[in-house]
Amino acid sequence: MTDCAPIKSELNAKLLDATEAANGWRGRCVNLFARAEAVIGAALASREPGKKAPMLVSQKAKRLAGHLTSKVVEQSLNDFVSFLGDRTALTHGTGKLWVDERGPWLLTLDWVGGGGPGRRVFASWEAESFHNDLRAVVQRLERQLRTA
């Protein structure tokens, strides 16, 4: 009887590493969006007790902005809203990963929304700065909305 063994190659290892890196990065970003949505929802609920909140986070943010008196907090909310197009890609997009033999990757995310089909491509070399920028905005928003 002949045993079949998987073919081991450096490229397979790089593909696995890139897949883990891209999926981990995407998950960390989705978690940041969830944290921001939670704090926005809680802030809106505290300002409109008993009133039904809108379904979409963009609508919640718009309604919350009407209650804000601080321009600084309003700017933080607007900074977060500027990331919402990427949120759609990260949470609803189906992904295809492209890996260079040297290790860098491209993650293509395709989705169909109310505005029709969309596509966003994230590159490994921009992923960490995107995550860091999003994290900074979310942390600022959490801090400001909890004290406002």
Instruction: Please give the pLDDT value at position 15.
Output: 85
Structure confidence at residue 73 (pLDDT): 95
Report pLDDT for 148: 65
The confidence score (pLDDT) of residue 114 equals 85
pLDDT of residue 4: 67
CA dist 66 and 81 (Å) reads: 14
In degrees, rounded to 5, the angle at the alpha carbon of residue 110 between the alpha carbons of residues 32 and 38 is 20
Q: Are 119 and 108 in contact (CB under 8 A)?
A: yes
According to DSSP, residue 95 is labeled E
3-state SS class at 8? coil
List phi, psi (to 5°) of 70: -95, 125
Residues 6+ apart with CB under 8 A from 89: 109, 111, 118, 119, 120
* Residue 147: per-residue pLDDT: 79
Residues of the chain with pLDDT under 70: 1-2, 4-11, 148
**pLDDT value of residue 76:** 96
Question: Which residue, chain included where needed, has tokens 């590159």?
Answer: 123
Per-residue confidence (pLDDT) for residue 138, from 0 to 100: 98
Closest CA relative to residue 43, chosen from 143, 134, 135, 139:
143
